[in-house]
Structure 1
Amino acid sequence: MPADLSPIDKAKFVAAKRAVDYVESGMKLGLGTGSTAAWMVRCLAERIREEGLKVKGVPTSSRTAELARSLGVPVVSLDDAKWLDLTIDGADEIDSQLNLIKGGGAALLQEKIVATASDQMIVIADAAKEVAQLGAFPLPVEVIPFGWQTTKALIEETLVSLDVLSRDCTLRMNGDAPLVTDEANYIVDLHLKRIGNPRQLSLVLNQIPGVVENGLFIDICDIVVVGHGDGRVTVRDINSGEVEDGHIDLAPSDNIFTDADD
């Protein structure tokens, strides 16, 4: 691991390294998207290279697929894999019940499909992602381009009757044009500030015509691995209720992480 990483990147690295310990040879894995998930792909590639680990990965975005292939992680489609043993992914927010907001990287649709097609989902994050209540991070909603302004208006109208603090909605842009997801859709970000009932909000949003999926992951995450800049790692298992504290060595080394730029 490079010695000059920021504390947040060190936290992401140690969370990713600990999560990859759950991977066993022969597994079919969902590979998440985002800067923390990119560390996980690198850690997985290191185990493949050094231990001869045999796995197949299903990426949740074209970016993850490109990174995995470049590092020698075998990649297959979800249709080929059919069902997965484990998905490891990041999150933008995590509450005490392991409910998540995801989609900051605009890959929420594929991420949710892959996560729900897995026996288990492990979320990796730095400590800043843990919150008492979801909503400070804008909630991404993937919508089809046709009639997106009407869909956005329907979302805003629906939010009036829901337990949220704000109802500001914006189309996510990529420069001067709307951001386009891997599935050729748009993202509307909901700046809610506080979500009182995530389960209700998720169900209601997905009933709106034009909405493809939202970034609330409810009852999907099984384990969260939280990393800290000093190498400490906390593992919380929602099913067993167990909390495990550990530590990952942050000593620099000349390995696959030398060129990491996330």
Structure 2
Amino acid sequence: MEVFRHTDFDPAFTAHLELYLQLRSNGFTYACTEPDNNRLMLLNNLDLSGEISDPDEKRMIGELSKEDLVFLPAARRTVIWSHLPFSLFPAEIGAGDIEKQASLLLDLSGQQICQDRYDELVVAFALPVNIYSRYRDLFPGAVHRHLAGSLLSSNAEDHVIHMVIQEHLVLLSVRIDGKLHLANSYRFQTTDEFLYFLLLATEQTGFDRENGSVILSGQVAEDGKLFQETAKFFNHIRLETSELWPDTADHETLPQYFTPLLKMMS
């Protein structure tokens, strides 16, 4: 059963819709929108049974094949990756030069370089060729993006740390005086490890913990340990919101882990 389905959604007429599929290491989230007005029509999440430390793409594809709605006709499909390493490059650098430079930063043995372009920056990430081929066959013509893009333009605040939590992975960015000072991903197993990387980022960038804001999204809850422990070190901390929350659904009842996907769609 979907978490949200608009009353106007009709599985027989989907060729005009856009499908967004966000892949995690132990599941996936997907949504359908109307491209003209960005109205959310469908929102769903599937967690694979049992947590796995590394992406099991064969298992993921097997579960995907059971989700008929993911394979309905669509005007465009966007596949969003979260668990892959990434690098940032200035947008003025050409695609060919980015691929050459990325080869120096990422392990490209048997890899396909994907580029996710924004106004000022490009997120470059590498996909194993065999995995890229499988998803290309599943979703011909799909656009491949990285969830790190949600860190680049999520907030207009000048002094902010934005974090996206996905299982035991955190995507983190630091903005000071409106400029991006840091964007990276870290794997952690415990809350203490999470706090170590977060506080290290504040020390490396000189972030003002007393006056700056911290915004979290993804698999995090306001009454959870990770949020509560983080709040001990910062005066201003809150959960992320999205303008794409369905009007017909209670904002507070929708799981927070949908927010990163919705931010990528807005």
Same fold (TM over 0.5): no
TM-score, with length taken from structure 1 = 0.27
TM-score, with length taken from structure 2 = 0.27
